[in-house]
Amino acid sequence: MAKMTISLPDHLAEYVENRVASGRYSNADAFLAELILKDQLHHKLDDEELRNILRQAEESGTSERRIPDILSETKAKLRDNHL
């Protein structure tokens, strides 16, 4: 297992300490490892969702909608799904 040393602003270090003190995590390492795993999953879902959007777009043919409108709608969907 690799070892890393990180520096956090005081308010973030306090947050990590409080999460560990809550009893859900055995230590800061466990808390940070879970955050990293969630981040990996979040990015994987973003990639998969983007592929699905592109596939659907290719299958749907020509659209009457403008590109800026399509981009705005897509960004809103992504934001709503990952809050």
Helix (H, G, I), strand (E, B) or coil at 45: helix
What pLDDT was estimated at residue 49? Answer: 84
Q: Please give the model's pTM, rounded to 2 decimal places.
A: 0.54
What pLDDT was estimated at residue 63? Answer: 77
What pLDDT was estimated at residue 27? Answer: 97
What pLDDT was estimated at residue 83? Answer: 55
Identify whether the C-beta of residue 32 lies closer than 8 Å to the C-beta of residue 5: no
Can you tell me the distance from the alpha carbon of 48 to that of 43, in angstroms, rounded to the nearest whole number? Answer: 9
pLDDT less than 50: residues of the chain: none
List, in order, residues 6 or more apart from 24 with CB less than 8 Å away.
Answer: 31
